[in-house]
């Protein structure tokens, strides 16, 4: 076993501050989404999916209430006559699928969040989708009709709506909402830009602002405890400006708040009636696709996971300038890595996906205004029957913890037991930073960290705590230790040489579970 840790308690705390570690217990709930399994499968599979998400350690499940899927006569150009705020006036079966998913999620002990989202019915847009995108109607949706739809969804999941399945109970309450999805991306809202006075000016932020304002008011009319997120923005934008080119996320946020790059009000027609934005959080999807979560952003028009502090600073400035009614926490409501196999276009390796999840969890946990982290997909999207072409399979999204046929990826272990290790040179000392979490995080769990020796043997190492763990920081040198009440830990050990580390979860029944190992090289300053 390595020698006793020479780090002093005060030095460990100093290093903790340099790492940006929270000074107290920081909850970071995790949301998971898989609409394919939860909205389009038989009841038994829906229930099994929700239970599996809970067993893996998810805290919430994100579901899409698709306006197109739920609305009456969604392909008609003529709006049907119906009471748009009453779900009883909509087709029954699509709503039954959403009911089933919400009930399964709640029965599994998880919280539910709903995106009132894409796509619009044909009768609610200025221009229908082209043949290549049949049904994906998104050109200037009718904002008032969207708000009525949002109210219908909120009423149904208010906690007082009788279950149409005749269970004798009410449908569960949903309290976390987002209005629309990725409004800065042309796949979900058009037009993004418009021509005015011979130049291109942003269109989607101002259109979306009114969509959100009306939906926010409608959802809060149903229950004042409802929380409605604004944004749901995609991580990327484009240099080219046209109706079908997305707007960079920071530019999108500034336009939402009707300010320029210097924070000064925009004196344009679209902002003439501007009022401070009302929301309960900001939703963002900080994908990095191919690179590590902490990789520098090549293009300034992106806000990936590493750049969340830039988004945070902008939101803080907007609040201080009175452009937002309250300081908005950041909700990462969609994130993940596609894997190769099966994706030969966007995929990282299976082990990279697993390790990147540990690093991404560490990065979001350190930023205390991040209120939610995400895993997009439980299973890879199932390809059409008989499809064997790798390029065709890559058209689907393949960021699941499992392959589409249910075979587990290493990321299953990484999700239950995320772990990250890295060497740093801080305060004149070379140290290994060891981070992890045990999920589900219902209580403090016992963990130890092991290092692999040159002969391949795994040995436990002594580590020192760097933060409180549900009580006063003892700063003891320990081989095994307890997580904080949310299941997290952050430990330090002296750096000795390049090596591989892994975490061991020592369960109350005497069994152990190991996390995915991480290689640690020489320190970086």
Q: Give me the number of domains the chain comprises.
A: 2
Model pLDDT, residue 1: 43
Confidence of residue 12 (pLDDT cuts 50, 70, 90): low
What tokens were used for 56? 């893996």
Q: What is the dihedral of CA 410, 413, 419, 422, to 10 degrees?
A: -20
Please say if the pLDDT value at position 22 is more than 90. Answer: no
| 171 located within any domain | yes
Render pLDDT for 305-362 as a digit per residue (tens, 0 to 9): 999 999 999 999 999 999 999 999 999 999 999 999 999 998 999 999 999 999 999 9
Side-chain-side CA neighbours of residue 341 (13 Å): 11
Average pLDDT, the chain: 93
Dmax over CA atoms of the chain, in Å, equals 77
What tokens were used for 178? 């987002």
Model pLDDT, residue 3: 41
SS3 61: strand
Q: Say whether both 345 and 230 belong to one domain.
A: yes
Q: Say whether both 352 and 467 belong to one domain.
A: no
Q: Say whether both 37 and 16 belong to one domain.
A: no
Model pLDDT, residue 434: 97
Q: Say whether both 366 and 427 belong to one domain.
A: no
| 415 located within any domain | no
Side-chain-side CA neighbours of residue 197 (13 Å): 4
Q: Say whether both 63 and 127 belong to one domain.
A: yes
Render pLDDT for 283-306 as a digit per residue (tens, 0 to 9): 999 999 889 999 987 667 899 999
What tokens were used for 462? 């002594």
Q: Say whether both 367 and 434 belong to one domain.
A: no
Show Cβ contacts of residue 358 under 8 Å, excluding neighbours closer than 6 positions: 414, 418, 419, 420, 435, 436, 515, 516, 518
What is the C-alpha radius of gyration for the chain, rounded to an integer number of angstroms? Answer: 24
Model pLDDT, residue 5: 55
Instruction: Tell me the C-alpha distance between 66 and 367, whole Å.
Output: 32
| 479 located within any domain | yes
| Distance in angstroms between the alpha carbons of the first and the last residue of the chain | 27
SS3 341: coil
281 phi/psi in degrees, rounded to 5: 175, 165
Per the model's pLDDT, the better-predicted residue between 187 and 24 turns out to be 187
As a whole-number percent, the residues of the chain with pLDDT over 70 amount to 94
Q: What is the mean pLDDT of residues 411-425?
A: 97
| 404 located within any domain | no
Q: What is the mean pLDDT of residues 136-162?
A: 98
Identify the DSSP state of 240: S
Confidence of residue 398 (pLDDT cuts 50, 70, 90): very high
Instruction: Tell me the C-alpha distance between 381 and 384, whole Å.
Output: 10
Please say if the pLDDT value at position 443 is more than 70. Answer: yes
Tell me if the bond preceding 44 is cis, omega within 30° of 0.
Answer: no
User: CA geometry: angle at 278 spanning 156 and 366, to 5°?
Assistant: 95
What tokens were used for 195? 């021509």
Indicate the burial class of 280 (C-beta count within 10 angstroms; 0-12, 13-18, 19 or more): buried
Model pLDDT, residue 66: 98
Please say if the pLDDT value at position 469 is more than 70. Answer: no
Model pLDDT, residue 438: 96
Confidence of residue 476 (pLDDT cuts 50, 70, 90): confident
> CA dist 1 to 116, 449, 512, Å?
55, 12, 20
Place of tokens 């040198």: 477
Supply the range of the domain harboring residue 514: 9-20+420-520
What tokens were used for 63? 């579901």
Q: What is the mean pLDDT of residues 367-373?
A: 96
Please say if the pLDDT value at position 2 is more than 50. Answer: no
Domain boundary, last residue among 376, 391, 410: 376
| 388 located within any domain | no
Domain boundary, last residue among 341, 376, 411: 376
Render pLDDT for 39-88 as a digit per residue (tens, 0 to 9): 999 999 999 999 999 999 999 999 999 999 999 999 999 999 999 999 99
Q: Say whether both 328 and 431 belong to one domain.
A: no
Model pLDDT, residue 7: 65
| 277 located within any domain | yes
Please say if the pLDDT value at position 429 is more than 80. Answer: yes
Please say if the pLDDT value at position 4 is more than 50. Answer: no
Instruction: Tell me the C-alpha distance between 2 and 463, whole Å.
Output: 10
Domain boundary, last residue among 376, 404, 431: 376
Q: Say whether both 136 and 211 belong to one domain.
A: yes
Model pLDDT, residue 6: 57
Q: Say whether both 91 and 206 belong to one domain.
A: yes
| 466 located within any domain | yes
Q: Regarding beta strands 463-465 and 477-478, do their DSSP bridges make them parallel or antiparallel, or are they unpaired?
A: antiparallel
Any idea what the CATH number is for the domain that residue 238 is in?
A: 3.20.20.80
Model pLDDT, residue 441: 74
Model pLDDT, residue 468: 47
Instruction: Tell me the C-alpha distance between 323 and 403, whole Å.
Output: 44
Q: Say whether both 58 and 144 belong to one domain.
A: yes
Any idea what the CATH number is for the domain that residue 465 is in?
A: 2.60.40
Q: Is 197 left (phi over 0), alpha (psi -120 to 50) or beta?
A: left
Give yes or no for a contact between 192 and 184, defined as CB atoms under 8 angstroms apart: yes
Show Cβ contacts of residue 380 under 8 Å, excluding neighbours closer than 6 positions: 339, 342, 396, 397, 398, 399, 400, 402, 403, 404
Q: Say whether both 50 and 14 belong to one domain.
A: no
Burial 364-377 (b: 16+ CB within 10 A, else e): bbbbebbbbbbbbb
What tokens were used for 115? 């995106």
| 359 located within any domain | yes
Q: Say whether both 236 and 199 belong to one domain.
A: yes
pTM: 0.95
105 phi/psi in degrees, rounded to 5: -65, -45
């Amino acid at each position: 076993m390595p020698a006793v840790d020479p780090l002093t308690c005060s030095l460990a705390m100093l290093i903790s501050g340099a790492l940006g570690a929270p000074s107290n217990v920081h909850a970071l709930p995790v949301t998971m989404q898989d609409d394919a399994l939860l909205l389009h499968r038989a009841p038994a599979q829906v229930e099994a999916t929700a239970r599996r998400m809970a067993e893996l350690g998810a805290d919430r499940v994100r579901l899409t209430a698709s306006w197109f899927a739920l609305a009456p006569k969604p392909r008609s150009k003529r709006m049907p006559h119906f009471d748009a705020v009453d779900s009883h006036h909509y087709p029954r079966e699509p709503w039954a699928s959403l009911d089933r998913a919400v009930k399964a999620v709640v029965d599994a002990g998880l919280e539910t969040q709903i995106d009132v989202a894409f796509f619009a019915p044909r009768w609610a847009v200025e221009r229908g989708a082209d043949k290549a995108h049949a049904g994906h109607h998104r050109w200037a949706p009718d904002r008032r009709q969207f708000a009525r739809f949002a109210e219908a969804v909120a009423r149904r999941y208010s906690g007082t709506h009788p279950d149409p399945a005749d269970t004798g109970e009410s449908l569960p309450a949903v309290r976390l909402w987002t209005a629309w999805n990725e409004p800065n991306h042309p796949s979900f809202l058009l037009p993004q830009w418009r021509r005015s006075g011979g130049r291109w000016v942003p269109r989607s932020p101002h259109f979306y602002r009114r969509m959100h304002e009306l939906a926010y008011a409608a959802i809060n009319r149903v229950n004042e405890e409802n929380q409605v997120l604004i944004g749901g923005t995609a991580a990327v934008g484009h240099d080219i400006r046209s109706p079908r080119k997305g707007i960079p996320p920071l530019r999108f946020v500034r336009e939402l708040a009707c300010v320029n790059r210097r924070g000064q009000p925009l004196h344009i027609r679209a902002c003439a009636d501007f009022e401070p934005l009302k929301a309960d959080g900001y939703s963002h999807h900080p994908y990095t696709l191919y690179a590590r979560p902490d990789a520098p952003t090549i293009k300034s028009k992106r806000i990936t996971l590493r750049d969340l502090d830039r988004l945070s600073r902008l939101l803080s400035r907007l609040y201080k300038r009175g452009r937002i009614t309250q300081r908005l926490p950041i909700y990462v409501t969609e994130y993940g890595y596609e894997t190769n196999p099966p994706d030969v276009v966007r995929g990282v390796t299976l082990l990279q996906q697993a390790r990147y999840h540990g690093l991404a969890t560490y990065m979001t946990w350190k930023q205390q205004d991040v209120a939610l982290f995400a895993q997009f997909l439980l299973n890879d999207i199932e390809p059409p029957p008989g499809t064997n072409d790798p390029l065709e399979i890559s058209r689907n999204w393949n960021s699941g913890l499992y392959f589409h046929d249910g075979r587990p990826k290493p990321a299953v272990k990484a999700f239950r037991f995320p772990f990250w290790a890295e060497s740093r040179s801080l305060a004149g000392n070379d140290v290994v930073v060891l981070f992890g979490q045990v999920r589900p995080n219902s209580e403090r769990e016992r963990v130890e960290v092991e290092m692999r020796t040159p002969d391949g043997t795994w040995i436990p190492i002594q580590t020192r705590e760097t933060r409180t763990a549900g009580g006063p920081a003892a700063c003891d040198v320990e081989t095994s230790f307890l997580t904080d009440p949310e299941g997290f830990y952050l430990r330090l050990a002296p750096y000795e040489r390049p090596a591989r580390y892994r975490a061991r979860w020592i369960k109350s029944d005497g069994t152990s579970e190991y996390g995915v190992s991480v290689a640690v090289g020489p320190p970086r300053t």
